[in-house]
Each structure stands twice: as structure tokens, then as C-alpha cells.
Structure 1
């Protein structure tokens, strides 16, 4: 059978595979497919979230592009990310003392533990991790905790995730970051979701003193280059010494399949069709 993403009415991606799990959670329709080419795949409300084969591109770039820039990232907040892929990458940093994962849908975590073990690995078992089953916007509004890094790994801005793209949410993230803090989130395809990333850029540019984009291409995400926006209180990527960053990366001994410090900088050099709209 075929697993087909139904995010858009006029364009689709289909992968041959077998449906091995499906359920309707209190928040969304959840399916797991075992595909021939990409391994197990997570589908939420008809949209591909991650696959075992290509998850490393998205998860590494959404993590290391902020973690490595901070001088001492001891506290990390992940909003969403119930598949555990971001959490796994964050925990590669021995300096991290606490990693909060706030996920509204507990079933995503439980299903991922069973069917996406190659993605989350043993991340949920780490003693530094605190799992909070709650709406991310509610948590960020009510918490008194401060974080060095905040990573927003949510679905597209529809349904329950819509509030995670609002000006109010971003302002509250800013207040919850430490002095050197950084936040990052995906903002969709630069081709198919142009309105989304432009709108988010405009909102965040009024809140953060430093802002930049990274572009990534993940095979199972429709739309070519996808955008990741970084908001920073203090650090400016374009003033970073790339050779020093490379030395720091090697010294920490972090193993990656996609990310490296030179790609870190290269992915922020934007094509004209993107740059002109900033």
C-alpha cells in the first residue's frame, strides 16, 4: 500500500509501505507506516513528521545550530518533539544538566518509544530529562524557569499548534531565555509556505536583536528548501569565528551525520529569492 501526505490539495508525496499502527488521539490522527525506502514513518493528521532514514537532517540542524553557539547550554526546553529526535541530539552535550520536553500529546511519545526506537534511542530514559504533558504555550506562559536554549519542534500552524506561531508566544519565549539565550523553530518550505516563514520572520524581528535563517532539504518534506529561524539575545552568527567553532565541535566529540560547523554557516547564506523578502 501507499502512504500519502495530504497536507496540500494540489501536490503530494507517496511512499510505498505498510500501515503498522493507527489511532485517533485526543488531538490528532496518528499513523505509523513501515516504508520500503525510509523505514518507519510518523504521520500526523496526514502530514509526514519524520522517518528513520532522513530524520537526522532535520533533528541535527534544529539542535546543533543553537546548542554549539551558546557558551554554556546547561538548560534546554523542547516544545513538541514527541518523537524524541531533538531530545536525542540535545543529550549529546554532556554539559546539559536539564532538558525539558513539553508535548501536548502523550500518545506521540508512547508510540515513538515503540515504533521509532531508531530515532529516539534511549533519550527518554536519560536522568536529565523531564517530560511534561502540556500545551507548550500554556507551559511557557506559566513557568518561572529560565532556559539557555529553547527549541520549538511543532507541526505546521494549524489546529492546536497555531498558538505556537503567535507574537504573544514568541514574546514569552524571549522572557524565558537567559542572557545569552537562543531559540530556534522551523517555519516551513520557502517555496510552498512562503507566507508562513515571512510572517514569522517579521514577528520575531520585532522581538529578538539578532535573527537569521538556516535552510535545509529533507527528502520526505514536500517543498524543497525548508526554513529554520533562529532568534538570539546576544550572539550574532555572522560574527562567529568558524575555525574556533570547528575546534569546539571536535573537542566536544559530538558525532553527527549531517551537521558540521562549516555547514552551519553555509546554510545561513541565502539564495536571492529568500534574501530579497527579508
Structure 2
């Protein structure tokens, strides 16, 4: 049979997913996009041979990426998503009634159209919400050109492998551009690859740059079964996410009528709890 080999993090230690069928495959101007049906985790979005998200557990990743920052900035009205992809980050942001506008930027219009068509369970028609403004261009170009400021900026970029469109976005230049477009007390969050005892190089690289630009960086992670690894995120914010009170989080979720399957006030604090062996993440 067919197997999807996820060896992005290590060719010595790949994760295998059995493929039931290839639903769609196309080389766009920027990357190779495939939608496959896996035996265990359902449909998956694959870019340049690297799995991005799986139907059965993408909610863990996307809720972990979006909600800590949305709750940290009290009632954000304007949100920017860099890396629209399958529209699942968009889905999570739109759960907040306080949000008036979401600008979602992606370099690859064709890839987003493919996701729109084949991954309805992921985006749940979020693309068609009247609060959404879809922009198709390079993230750095967008940041340089836009006059707008945002309360929360979410970078859900592809990983920085050699052919990746996002490679040059893992840079101080990019983080400076992000900082300039944050409103006062604005919050920035970025997916930040694997953070484990044995695999953490990329996370530390990202963290060092973010800390240099923003002055503060808060690392957190959660285990995502389909990735077989603890996946990490970094928040840059004036306010420490751990200073939030549990009741505050509950109140903000309730006021906005936010329903989640993974994130909660309790999970919020668990996400930031790193073991002593990862004490070097400073």
C-alpha cells in the first residue's frame, strides 16, 4: 500500500501514515499540494510531501495556536492570520463574537482554493464569514504595505524547510515587521515546530529571534497524536500568559460564546508547563 512518510523533523526517525487514497494532487506556482485520506487520522493536507494537518486531531493544534492569544488580549477586534492554509485557524478566531475583522494572508491562492473545496470539515465555511478579508500575497510584503494595526497576529506558517515559501519569514526582519503592525498591548503568536528533549533546535532559533525583537517570549507546547511529537508555539506579548486568572479565561470564553474541544482554562496553564529537562528554553 501507499504510505505518507513524515520525515521533516528527522530522516532517522520518521512517522508513517498509511494512505487509503489520494483525493487530489497538484503542483501550484509555489508548492505541491495534496489532499489524502489516511487510515487512522482521516483526511490530511500535505504540502511538499510534508503533512500539515489531519482531520481527526487538527483541532488540538489549531485551538492551541489560537486561543491562548485571543484570551490574553482582552476582546480582540482586529486579527491578522499569516498563513491561511486550510482555514482552521480562521475557524477558531471567528468563534469570538468580539472580533470585527480578520485579515487572512496566504501566498498561494490555488492552495487555499483546493482546501476550500476538499477540506470543508477543517474550515467549516469560515472563508465565507463577512468579517473575513482574504489577501493573497507574501506575508512580509503584506506587513510592509498595510496601514492597519492588529490586536492579535497569528503566524501559522509552513515549516522552514529548504523549498518552503515561509523560510525567509523565520527572520528578525519578519518579526520586526510583525511588531510594527501590532496595536498597543497586541499579542503575536507563531507555530514553532517540535519542542522535545531531543528535538528543539528550530524552536530555540525562533525563540531567540522573537525575544530579541519583542523583549519577551513565552514558549508552550502540546502533544499532537498525528505528528507523534510535542508541537510548540511562541507568544510575544507584554502580558505574561501565566498571569491570567483561571476565572478570567473562563469569563472571556463564555462572554464570546466560544466552544472548544481541546482548549480550556485548565489546559491554558498546562500548555506552558515545561519539564525540568527543558529548563534551557529561556
Question: Please, what TM-score do these two structures have when normalized by structure 1?
Answer: 0.95
| Matched ranges for 1:67-216 at <5 A | 67-158=70-161, 159-191=164-196, 193-216=199-222
Equivalent-residue separation in structure 2 for 1:277 and 1:211 (angstroms): 10
Give the Å deviation of 1:209: 3.8
Please say if residues 158 and 165 of structure 2, whose CA atoms lie closer than 8 Å, have aligned partners that are also in contact.
no
Give the Å deviation of 1:105: 0.8
Partner in structure 1 of residue 223 of structure 2 = 217
SS in 1 for 2:74: coil
Equivalent-residue separation in structure 1 for 2:7 and 2:240 (angstroms): 38
Equivalent-residue separation in structure 2 for 1:154 and 1:132 (angstroms): 15
SS in 2 for 1:92: coil
Structure 1 residue corresponding to 2:42, chosen from 26, 39, 54: 39
SS in 1 for 2:226: coil
Structure 1 residue corresponding to 2:248, chosen from 223, 244, 248: 244
Q: Could you list the structure 1 runs, at least 4 aligned residues long, displaced by more than 4 angstroms after superposition.
A: none
* More displaced 10-residue stretch of structure 1: 82-91 or 2-11: 2-11
Partner in structure 2 of residue 65 of structure 1 = 68
Partner in structure 2 of residue 259 of structure 1 = 263
Equivalent-residue separation in structure 2 for 1:55 and 1:228 (angstroms): 15
Please say if residues 74 and 252 of structure 2, whose CA atoms lie closer than 8 Å, have aligned partners that are also in contact.
no
5+ unaligned residues in a row in structure 2: which ranges? none
Give the Å deviation of 1:193: 4.3
Structure 1 residue corresponding to 2:14, chosen from 12, 15, 19: 12
Give the Å deviation of 1:9: 2.2
Equivalent-residue separation in structure 1 for 2:90 and 2:241 (angstroms): 23
Please say if residues 91 and 123 of structure 2, whose CA atoms lie closer than 8 Å, have aligned partners that are also in contact.
yes
Please say if residues 3 and 33 of structure 1, whose CA atoms lie closer than 8 Å, have aligned partners that are also in contact.
no
Give the Å deviation of 1:3: 2.3
Give the Å deviation of 1:244: 2.1
* More displaced 10-residue stretch of structure 1: 95-104 or 244-253: 244-253
Residue-by-residue CA offset, 1:102-128 (whole Å, 9 max, x unaligned): 000112211111111000011000011
Equivalent-residue separation in structure 1 for 2:121 and 2:212 (angstroms): 39
| Matched ranges for 1:22-33 at <5 A | 22-33=25-36
Equivalent-residue separation in structure 2 for 1:75 and 1:97 (angstroms): 6
Please say if residues 98 and 256 of structure 2, whose CA atoms lie closer than 8 Å, have aligned partners that are also in contact.
no
5+ unaligned residues in a row in structure 1: which ranges? none
Residue-by-residue CA offset, 1:189-241 (whole Å, 9 max, x unaligned): 1136422111111111122243211111111214x212100001x32223222
SS in 2 for 1:202: helix
- Aligned pairs, number: 276
Equivalent-residue separation in structure 2 for 1:272 and 1:142 (angstroms): 43
